[in-house]
Amino acid sequence: MMKFLAQNRHTVQRLGFSAITLMAVVTVLPIVGTILFILFKGGSAISVEFLTGFPHDGMRAGGILPAIIGTLYLTIGTAIFSVPLGIAAAIYLAEYAKDNQWTRLIRIAIINLAGIPSVVYGLFGLGLFVLFLQFGTSILAASLTLSIMTLPVIISTSEEALRAVPQAFRTVSISLGATRWQTISRIILKEALPGILTGVILGLERAAGETAPILFTGAAFFLPRLPQSPFDATMALPYHLFVISTQVPEMPIQIQYGTALVLLVFVLTMNVIATVIRSRARARRQW
């Protein structure tokens, strides 16, 4: 055996590379498979009426407009709270914080925040926003709950993006008589922006697809009209999908897969936008 290996090094190497390539291909299969499967099963459900109409006949017919709009509202609401807070926290951690026990504690908290199961966020949101702060089951409460869940993603990717900007820019800017904040606002943030945006989009994408955090905080089983204010509950794509897949008997299967397809497209579009921003910025980057 050893002799064979020694004599056929090139063959062995080629075999090794082939095995690795095969594994890379295997990892692509599930995502491609999922997309094709959903597209195949749900494609026939997609129509103008499906995308712009209200559900009727106990949601067994009609469209899913309120769920689409609801998910849009929730995503925007989540962005309003989590983006400024997350970026501010990242700037503090990357640019101002000294490495001491206090900041280490903050970091540990952020890491742990990322590890909490989403249903726990849901319960926490129910306790804090819905009941204690009396926002009720509402877009506001659900957005705040999703924001807390999204924050660690935004903070850690933004911090990383800020740290990736060369230290020399800071030194030079300061040496030219700029203050720390001028340096951050005029140079560092601009250079880190693509990385930050990528993190923001990936975080929001996760928020848009979550069911558990909005289950007790803002999602409605069925609403005959679109939400009128942030204090209204709303239908949302992931929860609607859960409902029509488990709670409604004799549900036409293509409506389920059609809903899944819309959710998938929603999330994948955000993903593509993030990728485009990143690759464009990389081409333009001056360091």
Partner 1 sequence: MGIRQNAVTVLFGPAGGGKSTLLRCLNRLNDLTEIKASSGRILIDGENILDPKTDVIALRRKVGMVFARPVPLPMSIRQNLTYALELAGEKRKSKLDEAVERSLKLAAIWDEVKDRLDEPAIALSGGQQQRVCLARVIALQPEVILLDEPTSGLDPISTGKVEAALLELKKEYTVILVPHSVQQAARTADYAAFFLTGELIEYGEGKSLFTVPKQKKTEDYIMGRFG
**Contact residues: partner 1, CB under 8 A:** 166, 168-179, 182, 186-187, 190-191, 285-287
When the beta carbons of 225 and 285 are compared against partner 1, the nearer one is: 285
* Element (DSSP H or E) covering residue 55: strand 55-56
- CA 60 to each of CA 16, 105, 117, 244: distance values in angstroms, whole numbers, following the listed order: 52, 50, 32, 8
When the beta carbons of 41 and 170 are compared against partner 1, the nearer one is: 170
At closest approach, how far in Å is the CB of 29 from partner 1? 40
When the beta carbons of 37 and 181 are compared against partner 1, the nearer one is: 181
Measured distance CA(2)–CA(38) in Å, rounded: 49
When the beta carbons of 9 and 285 are compared against partner 1, the nearer one is: 285
**Residue 55 forms beta bridges with which residues?**
62
At closest approach, how far in Å is the CB of 184 from partner 1? 13
**Residue 61 forms beta bridges with which residues?**
56
Asked whether the CA dihedral 269, 271, 277, 279 is positive or negative, the reply is negative
Tokens representing 175? 């040496």
At closest approach, how far in Å is the CB of 182 from partner 1? 6
Measured distance CA(246)–CA(221) in Å, rounded: 12
At closest approach, how far in Å is the CB of 159 from partner 1? 19
At closest approach, how far in Å is the CB of 285 from partner 1? 8
When the beta carbons of 229 and 286 are compared against partner 1, the nearer one is: 286
